[in-house]
Structure 1
């Protein structure tokens, strides 16, 4: 009876060590840091142990191997007589002892595999942090008690690792890919709302998207000519109620400065004609190169404290304008642009109308096409069409890619206004 109790105790102790091993290895540092900040006991101790796990794992292996040896010795003595009596009811030949020993060995091994290995490790994998903070203190005591053996085997292990030029300590660096993977898992299981998932995903794209993907392109810029009549100026303000306008001398390439619409409205309210005088023009123009990323552009706006910027190319030609709102909308999306016209409109289950200036990242998320070729060569779906066709698109030009048909249905000059995207093989 004492032997059977000893086997049960060894299985229980082995289960604790097995749970500790898996829990320490599987515990997530980010969650442990959150638990530590919230005051969870022993969370910081688990983090400290994970930083230098060598002694801990040496202790675990010493303990598990010692328990396995003891289990074999005690188990043979404890179970074999009972197994021999049981087998004796069915077989009494000269192989009775060998059969009894084999059945005893198989039974003991099965008990250890099930209750000392599989079950505790499964539990530790399911809730690693909860298990780790409960076992870390007793595991540290055991490590201290086995210090001579731990130091010996841990030292040998470090020597072998250094000989083969492997690192002796684990470095946990949380990468963007790790965070994205956690976001994907959270969105899949519903713990991360879809709106928050898209918002966080957009933030990670700030360093990969260029300024040209969100700016108002040159051909859509509304500006004042310094020689325009009062009626023309008033009509532009009525049709395009912006806060600020560029003032040019004949064309955008002869930019004179910026004027606030309220300066003109003040004249109108006084009963005077809506004319532009030199003293009304602000010549302090904020320029940004089109090669900047969205993240760099946000930082530039933070330093300059300007409401909008004129975007220029490498030849100092104006290619567009961008506002702080344009940059914020690149990752805030519908939270601040709900009043704007949607760039992607779903016609039915298998087709979409997409504005030509829609970011290729937004198209990717909508259609779940993550293998657009040469992504660095273009920013918009119109750029994708130009890249694929190797020329400026014409109406009805189309491209078949990744199970979708991308067809140009509207042009303004040479600019792609709108595409019809249709999913092919819908019955496949």
Structure 2
């Protein structure tokens, strides 16, 4: 079936929906040290609020994605974004770190609708190179969030505090709801939806998980995201407490890395039609592997500011060649159950992120080794998963001759 090209306005709304994660994390990252002081708790306890959010994103996608294959995308998008806005407001008035952690799980669970279903909508409406370009453009537009969020958060924390930051997140979530209501039509016709109850969901899950190429691309994607999240969760303490950056300077450094990710995503959108998503994915994996390896060497030898900043920029920017292409290749393998496929991809992505956050925190705040070594381990495993997929494709091609 020939699919219509997605309008730019729809891609913009879908990009904003995927921005729920960076908006709900990056804006309050600069406030981590002050939050620990206010609640009288440890860095690990504050990082747990981030872990709870990521667990919510993972679980929410596993629930919402398959349900959308049966009930359609739009109703779940509307409900999820509305509750996400309400729970963000609850974060702003949380009286204890335990309450904040619990509510952050709810925010993640409902915010998962925007992430999992934006991918499903693109898979419903585009395929091949068109899908790769749409995912790249979505990342490009959505990349404005991690650029603006830390700068805005670093500025606002000093004026309205971390609670005020969550009120800003609430307003942004409300804008997402309006965008869905106005611009995002149902992309999955009733005749293409799954029928039946639990047995149909189980069948879709078996179809998705039984596709080894889908699993390989998904694992590579999720582990590459683990590289980013090791950086996200540990960098406030490494760059501020260890290397002496101020809150504002840290926010600028964070934004520069996000700008690199946006620039490479734009380059990917221009190249994917001629080079192809798989070749670009391999280049991205190699770039991140080199940067993470050198980061480990630097952190062991004695961490220094400029090498760390440069290597982090290269590693984060390299993800612009990984995220959109791995997503395109994975979902192309399971087009008949795009919601379930997107759910598995997203759940593994944020489930691994939830594991990474406390791991980098366990090493303490006085060293960059936990951050660097976790980034390295995730990237090596990501490269291994992609190598297995490529080897399987080579074997299948040889067997066909």
TM-score by length of 1: 0.23
Instruction: Compare relative contact order (CA 8 Å, sep 6+) and give the higher one, 1 or 2.
Output: 2
**Bigger radius of gyration among the two:** 1
Bigger proportion of residues as helix: 2
